Amino acid sequence: MEKKDSKFEEKVTELEKIIDELENGNIALEESIEKYAYAMQLAKECDEKLKKIEEKVNKIVSENGKIEDFDLEE
Amino acid sequence: MNDDKYLSVGALTKYLKYKFDTDEHLRNVFLKGEISNLKKHTTGHYYFSIKDENSKINAIMFSRNTKQLNFNPEDGMKVRIKGRISIYENTGSYQIYVEEMEEDGLGNLYILFEKLKKDLEKEGLFDPKNKKPIPKIPEKVGIVTAPTGAAIKDILSTIKRRFPICKTILFPALVQGENAKEDIANKIKLANNYDIDVLIIGRGGGSIEDLWPFNEECVARAIYESKIPIISAVGHEIDYTIADFVADLRAPTPTGAAEIAVPSMYDLEKLLGQYQIRASEAITKKINYSKLQLESITGSFVIKNPMVMFENKRQYLDSLIEKINRDIYYLLDNKKQYFKNIQKSYLFKNPKMIYENQKEKLKNDIIKLDLVNPLNILKRGYSLTYKEEKVITNIKNIKIGDTISIRLEKAKLEAKITSIKEEKHGKER
């Protein structure tokens, strides 16, 4: 299982946090610009992940615990 | 009076019993209700009542019939009965003579449901504080349901429509029948071995018996013990199962569960867009504010016109000097005035007064001094006797023949001692 970067939800949550901080305006200018840059990067990453629509194949756990592809018979 | 027209109780009861016993409807009664006041007699007969919300009827089931029962009746049980109605002559009460009795499945399931619900609630399995939050954006959704049928289809198609980047793992389970409860419980436990963000458990609509596995305690406990948040989706919107109460979230249907489990990609993209706009607006605001702050600082008069600062100091200094000058004149004036007052005074104009005063005082002093002058005593006739310039006070210092001098007021005499006579009565020796 690849886990090269943090989960999508974590990124979105972090993004929300940064935006709240920026909107509150209680941080130093330099810091706020850094955070802004980071927020934009996070947003871009999330967006890319969303746009990169990979057709996920449904999986099924078989009796012996093995994960196999699962196709719904229509 | 004709006694014949009065019936005995026995006769009336017999008549009524006859009426009951010959009535077609009362000979073949199908009755459903709840058992209460059940007494199982040692003879094997059961005495009890059958009741519903409104009424109650006494019932008896003889041992030859009770032996045929395939369940163990208990108070509160819902049953379906076949029997006949007759009268027990001794008490004159009518009752149903039960020939056959079976459990009323639905009624009993309802009782079981209520009991389990109450027990589990008491144990805290439904407690909102034990509920896990459902992740907003899962990457992997687990599903415990039948691999065929409407439920899995609805779930997968909904996930694919809303959030196609999500992975799904199905844990196929029996969802009805005798073995379903164990299977569902086991699959929930199995799912917990996988890296899954949220688990949907459920099945499509069906009869209450079909949905029953989701009312079983072992399923409830498996849900409760799951580390993965669970969304339940059993049957239709109107169906509530124990699983729904224990689950972290109840969805009305399997489709509803999928909608709750994954966000819509469209909404998410919109949200991200909004975040970008908000971040940009926030940073623009911050920069503008900082600019404004800087402007208000550089725009301050001290920066623009530093001389103003000196002017202020200058002015202050001037005011100080002015004040000092004023004060010193005031002080001088005061002194001048004082001096003038002195000059104007009587004493200053008549200094002789002081002299006269002093003279008078001196005169007084002289008079006082005079009073104590020893020479003044001589004026009154006393005299002083000296020998060699010393006043003689003791005869031991003189002898006959000594020359002495005598001082009077205005003369001095020389004399010679011719005799010395001591006087013993004198004050001094």
pLDDT digits (tens, 9 = 90+) for B187-237: 999 999 999 999 999 999 988 889 999 999 999 999 999 999 999 999 988
By Cβ distance, the residue of B172, B278, B282 closest to A60 is B172
B135 inside 8 A of chain A by CB: yes
* Partners of residue A32 in chain B, C-beta under 8 Å: 282-283, 286
pLDDT computed for residue A54 by the predictor: 66
Report domain extents, chain B: 7-103, 110-126+137-263, 376-416
Q: What is the pTM of this model?
A: 0.57
pLDDT(A2) > 60: no
- As its CATH architecture, domain B7-103 has Beta Barrel (2.40)
Q: Which residue of A has its CA nearest to B282?
A: A23
Chain pair A-B, CB pairs under 8 angstroms: 105
The answer to whether B257 and B231 are in contact (CB under 8 A) is yes
A54 inside 8 A of chain B by CB: yes
Dist. CA B280–CA B274, nearest whole Å: 10
pLDDT(B44) > 50: yes
Angle at alpha carbon of residue B226, lines to B222 and B227, rounded to 5° = 170
Mean pLDDT score, B256-268: 92
By Cβ distance, the residue of B136, B170, B283 closest to A9 is B136
* Partners of residue B272 in chain A, C-beta under 8 Å: 12, 15, 43, 46-47, 50
pLDDT computed for residue B152 by the predictor: 93
Dist. CA B141–CA B156, nearest whole Å: 10
User: What's domain B110-126+137-263's superfamily in CATH?
Assistant: Succinyl-CoA synthetase domains (3.40.50.261)
B136 inside 8 A of chain A by CB: yes
Dist. CA B105–CA B213, nearest whole Å: 14
pLDDT computed for residue A55 by the predictor: 65
pLDDT computed for residue B425 by the predictor: 61
pLDDT digits (tens, 9 = 90+) for B303-345: 777 777 778 888 888 899 999 888 888 888 888 888 888 877 7
**Interface contact flag, B278 A23, Cβ < 8 Å:** yes
A5 CA to chain B: closest CA distance, Å?
13
ipTM here: 0.75
Q: Which residue of B has its CA nearest to A15?
A: B275
**Interface contact flag, A18 B265, Cβ < 8 Å:** no
What's the pLDDT band for A5 if we cut at 50, 70, 90? low
A45 inside 8 A of chain B by CB: no
CA distances from B154 to B56, B157, B244, B346 (A): 48, 5, 19, 129
